[in-house]
Amino acid sequence: PVKPLKGLLTTHVLNTATGLPATNLAIRLAQLLEPGIQWMELAESQTDEDGRCGPLLAPGQARPGTYKLRFETGAYWQCLGHSSFYPFVEVIFTITDPGQKLHVPLLISPFSYTTYRG
């Protein structure tokens, strides 16, 4: 029998001010502890020269629930010599099917950001 693929969570950060990948941007993944308002940190990573990092959830690690990706955008812009309106960006999403691959891209500039499910 064919085993179903387990979920993976990936992200990609692009600097829309330059049109280039956002390199060396710190990212943290946390899961909401239900019921409640406490978050449990699961992973920490940093983007590479392509604006990507390794999978934040390994195969079999995903569980149904609410998750948060925190992107340290303020520190990223500061390293480039810019100020930023957003000190960080938090993208909160729900995993309902832990067997499904999830890709959460983030497009940033010093004064805006956007995200979508890729």
Residue 70, marked binder: no
Give me 68's structure tokens: 């948060």
According to the annotation, is 28 in a ligand binding site? no
Pairing of strands 9-15, 102-109: parallel
Cα end-to-end distance, the chain, whole Å: 29
Report the distance separating Cα 65 and Cα 93, nearest Å. Answer: 9
Cβ contact 6:60 at 8 Å:
yes
- Measuring CA to CA, how many Å separate 70 from each of 1, 5, 26, 99, 105? 38, 26, 8, 23, 12
The answer to whether the annotation marks 116 as part of a ligand binding site is: yes
Binding residues: 12, 52, 116
Binding residues for substrate: 12, 52, 116
